[in-house]
Every structure is written in C-alpha cells, then in structure tokens.
Copies of this chain bind each other. A is one copy, B any other.
Amino acid sequence: MTKAVVLLSGGLDSATTLAIARSENYACHCLTVDYGQRHRAELAAAARVAQALGAAGHRVIALDLGAFGGSALTDPAIPVPEKSGAGIPVTYVPARNTILLVLALAWAEVLGAQHVFFGANAVDYSGYPDCRPEYMRAFEALANLATKAAVEGRSLQLHTPVIHLGKADIIRCGAALGVDYVLTVSCYQASPEGRACGRCESCRLRREGFASARLPDPTRYLDAGEGDSHTRH
C-alpha cells in the first residue's frame, strides 16, 4: 500500500478526506496539530475518526499558536462571531493552513510518503485565503523545492479531494464511504465533550450541508432542541 499523510482536524471535511484516501487504498498516517485551538474537542474527535476509518497511525503534534494570537480560534479574548460579515472573518488563523501543510510535509518526508491529503474546501470556506486552489498549487511547488526527498526525485503530491465540493456533496460523499459524522466536531466553540453551539459560521455551514444533502444531522448540539431527534442520547 502507498503511504500518505492525511491532515485530520476532527472536523467534517478532513474526516471525509480520510475516507476518500482510504477508499483509494492509501495507508493513511493521520496528523493532527494541537495549535491551541479554542475548540479542543476536535482533537479527541480526530482520534475517534482515525480509529473508525482504519488509519495506519495517528499522531498529534503540539504547537502553541496562542503565542502569536491574532485569531478568535487561538485568542480567548476575541469572541467567535455568530454572524458572517464581509471579508475574511476573525476565525482566520494567520498562516494556519501553511503551518499544517508543512508539518505534514515534514512527516511525509520522514515516513517516505509522497502523498499528503488535505481537506481544504474552496466553496463553503468562509473566505480563507489559504483554502484556494492557487494557494494549493503554490504549496506543492514549494514542497518540491524544499525537501531532500524532492531533490532526490521523490516529489510530493498534494491531494485536496473536497476542494471543489459544496458541504452537502462532501457529506453525501462521506456518508457513502461510511463516515459516521457523529464522531466529528466542526463547531468553533464546541464544549469539552464536543457539543456544538449551533450558532457559529462553522455550525451554520454544517447544518445547512446536512439539510441540503437531505441526510439527518447527527451533530450533538449544546441545546438539544436545535439538533435532529437522534442527537439527544
């Protein structure tokens, strides 16, 4: 089996991306970055998803981006907005996706893997600059100059299989591949147990995705009244 590093946040997009990589028969080494995110419940979600989807391994690496701050996801003093405004929202974490990708690149080189899977999405993506296809191409170009592996002819391929899919299509695709979305956490301010606020941008995109896909929303909301009936267990 061909090895791949799969960036796994514990959210819906990365769980689906892992399921796609598994369906393509990659041996998936999942990487989760504990960057000081407010929604730490996603770290436990990542471990559950990696196990449920048959990852070859799962590693969590710590990097405290709270030391820099500048985002509602890493600075507790900046509240998570509940309405989407114009422009790039305060949930944008400076250079975060580049940090995630380069850590995946580093681990891939150590493992001898030439494939990295990343669940970035350019449709329902909240306007983040580091979710765009041209950004992904620039990262791949950099990766293929940056490493000993590349210099020696083992180039890196970056796979972003959900980049052009809307949330509903991502959910349909993952459901067809057996992803159990109750294991995942998308909410930017999830409770320590992984219950979702139901009000932030990430919750809104996720809920609309299940509705458009005409699939029951298994999300466990803090206010059980906001979720689907079978969320109340």
Contact across chains for B70 and A95 when beta carbons are under 8 A apart: no
Q: Mark A93-137, 1 if CB is under 8 A from B, else 0.
A: 011111100110111011000000000000000000110101100
Number of copies: 2
Once A95-B102, A102-B95, A135-B145 are accepted as A-B contacts, the answer to whether A67 and B59 lie under 8 Å apart by CB is yes
Contact across chains for A99 and B102 when beta carbons are under 8 A apart: yes
Contact across chains for A103 and B99 when beta carbons are under 8 A apart: yes
Contact of A94 among B92, B142, B147, B151 (CB under 8 A): B147
Residue of B whose beta carbon sits closest to that of A101: B102
Q: How far is the CA of A146 from the CA of B88 in the complex (A)?
A: 12
> With a CB–CB cut-off of 8 A, which chain B residues contact A109?
70, 94-95
> With a CB–CB cut-off of 8 A, which chain B residues contact A88?
148, 151-152
Contact across chains for A148 and B92 when beta carbons are under 8 A apart: yes
> With a CB–CB cut-off of 8 A, which chain B residues contact A96?
106
Once A70-B109, A110-B69, A110-B94 are accepted as A-B contacts, the answer to whether A145 and B141 lie under 8 Å apart by CB is no
A49-103 interface (Cβ within 8 A of B): 59, 61-65, 67-70, 88, 92, 94-99, 102-103
Contact across chains for B110 and A105 when beta carbons are under 8 A apart: no
Contact across chains for A95 and B105 when beta carbons are under 8 A apart: yes
A61–chain B nearest beta-carbon distance, Å: 5
Residue of B whose beta carbon sits closest to that of A102: B98
Ranked 4 nearest A-B pairs via Cβ: A70-B110, A95-B106, A94-B109, A138-B142
